[in-house]
Amino acid sequence: MEHNKTNRFRKTMLAAAVLSLSIATAYAGEKEELLKLRNTTTNLINLLVKQGILSQENAQQMIKQAEQDAVKQVKLAAEADKVPADVVRVPYVPEFVRDQIRQQVRADLRADVVADVMKEAETQQWGIPNALPEWTRKFKLYGDMRLRYEHDHFAESNFVNPRVSDANSVNNFQNVNKNGGFGSVDGLENINKDRDRFRARFRLGLKAKVTQGLEANLRLATGNIKDPVSTNQTLGNTGQKFDFNIDRAFLKYEGLDSDVYNWMTLQGGRIPNPFRSTNLIFDKDLSFEGFASTFRYNMAGSDSLYDQEDQTASMFLTLGAFPLQEFQLSTKDKWMLGGQVGTDWEFLNQDKAAISVAYYNYINTKARPNKIGATSSCGFTDQDRDASVPQYLQKGNSMTPICYATQNNTTTPQKFGLASEFEILNITASYDMAMFAPIHVKLTGDYAKNLGFNKNEIQQRLGTGVIYNNPKLADRTNAWQARLDFGWPTTLLPGKWNSYVAYKYIESDAVLDAFTDSDFHLGGTNAKGWVIGGNYGVVDNAWLSAKWMSTDQIDGPKIGIDILLIDFNAKF
């Protein structure tokens, strides 16, 4: 390093010498030009005297006068050029000379400077482009972790659930189907005993660039493998290890136009929710198995209905097909088909508005009960009937028996299914006000209607079968929520905060209870109530959050539940 510094010093001194020589050369060249001019003028005067145009006396006077004027001009120039002692005057150096000096110094010093930088990079272990193989730059890890305290408080005035489930109980039909009918303690919903839980959620993802526009994505998550709407792992399993499962695995292709506008997204596999929605219909942790495509059209610009100088606007269309349950011995595979169209606006004052309309059609999810008689009992006598048993349930939807313990038996049902069909119309709108920026105020409204509920069709299909959760087959098919958010758009930085308040109302058969929010009323439908929460950034990429929900059952026995969630979140 010291040797390199000595070389740079010598070459700098050499550059200074070159500069001095160039100045002297420029000065010498200027003096030569002045002498040529003086001799030329003197010769011209002598020639005029010889030709008789100018007398010798007049010529001598002209030369003498010129010398006197020159002396005066030199004095005036010296006075004008006089500068204070602390000012250094640098003689003018022609531009071509300065260019030569720059090039020479740059060429002399480049090698030493590069060597010094590379030596420093090696010492300090700087990252050097292309130091790693190309394939390593195609991968990106990401993830998050959440630690949660949950307190579930049940109102003292709640209906007292009997010790053994029956038709008059508040039943957990997921466990009833698993156990083969009523009669077990875990077939009851807990609506009387307060509960405290510590829970954790860990998710780790990997993105891999396949080629331009095509990406592979894999994410692992904790949680019960049979629960599609929660990745929480409850602590307190006598030291047993967490389940860690594949939560997402999909390919995604993004198409860009000549303006680098993302006009198309195609996804296939186990994908994130492709639809714009709140948690009224789909829980935030729900992943979709199947295929989805989104097409976007940018309406901003001179060729659109909207002037780009006033506001920007875009439209989108999302279509998806998702197999819910596939059967080997039945043609009644369960599917969900969905479509959504929407638009976004962004105004000059940075306000944003969005509205979307969606339609979700669930195929083959309704119960197909066995007729009372020779094939009444549960077994492998009717595969299409057995296929109608739901694979997962929360609570709230109208339920009906599918099969019984023995033939000609109408008192001991063993398997239950959904009484109604589900064809859901969903309208979502939001307006984000930036007038207090960086603080934002956002209003969101969401409405859902099950168009598939048909009382006459249900009675004709089920006959005299009993309906649980909705014995009178009332039209309970509406759901809605209103929400107000206030604060920073994100809390990933320390000191940033936001808060929200919402009211939610979900009737029994408005949405499929298996997929709706798993926190509100501890999951499912047939509930109403308030939600209040907030988030606060603690350090970079880590924040605290708290949410309180106070809910009541809409129809049936009185059930009031208050839920408190306190989370510490970290994202990387």
Task: Give the pLDDT confidence of 522-562 residue by residue, as tens digits.
Answer: 999 999 999 999 999 999 999 999 999 999 999 999 999 99
pLDDT of residue 16: 47
pLDDT of residue 117: 62
Phi and psi at residue 27, to the nearest 5°: -65, -45
Instruction: Give me the mean pLDDT over the 377-405 stretch.
Output: 84
- β-bridge partners, 259: none
Which range has the worst mean pLDDT, 87-96, 279-288, 318-327?
A: 87-96
Which amino acid makes up residue 535? Answer: N
**pLDDT above 50 for 143:** yes
Beta strand extents in 364-398 (DSSP E only): none
CA 402 to chain centre: 43
**pLDDT above 50 for 439:** yes
Round to whole Å and give the CA distance between 328 and 321.
20
Which string of DSSP letters, residue by residue, matches 136-199?
A: GGGEEEEEEEEEEEEEEEE-TTS----SS--TTS-B-HHHHHHHTSS--GGGB---SS-EEEEE
CB contact set of 230 (below 8 Å; sequence gap of 6+): 223, 224, 283, 285, 518
Q: Render pLDDT for 461-517 as a digit per residue (tens, 0 to 9).
A: 887 778 999 988 999 999 999 999 999 999 999 999 999 999 999 999 999 999 999
**pLDDT above 60 for 91:** no
Helix count and strand count (H, E) for the chain:
6, 19
The model's confidence at residue 309, banded by pLDDT at 50, 70 and 90, is very low
Instruction: Give me the mean pLDDT over the 347-358 stretch.
Output: 93
**pLDDT above 70 for 92:** no
492: exposed, middle or buried (Cβ count in 10 Å: 0-12, 13-18, 19+) = middle
| CA-closest candidate to residue 458, choices 422, 483, 486, 430 | 422
**pLDDT above 70 for 47:** no
Cis ω on the peptide bond leading into residue 438 (within 30° of 0)?
A: yes
76: exposed, middle or buried (Cβ count in 10 Å: 0-12, 13-18, 19+) = exposed
Round to whole Å and give the CA distance between 149 and 164.
30
Instruction: Give me the mean pLDDT over the 61-77 stretch.
Output: 71
Round to whole Å and give the CA distance between 465 and 167.
12
Structural domains present in the chain:
2-124 (no CATH), 134-396+408-571 (2.40.160.180)
Percentage of residues of the chain with pLDDT beyond 70: 76
Beta strand extents in 348-437 (DSSP E only): 352-363, 399-404, 413-418, 423-436
Spatial contact of 448 and 511, defined as CB atoms under 8 Å apart:
yes
The model's confidence at residue 125, banded by pLDDT at 50, 70 and 90, is low
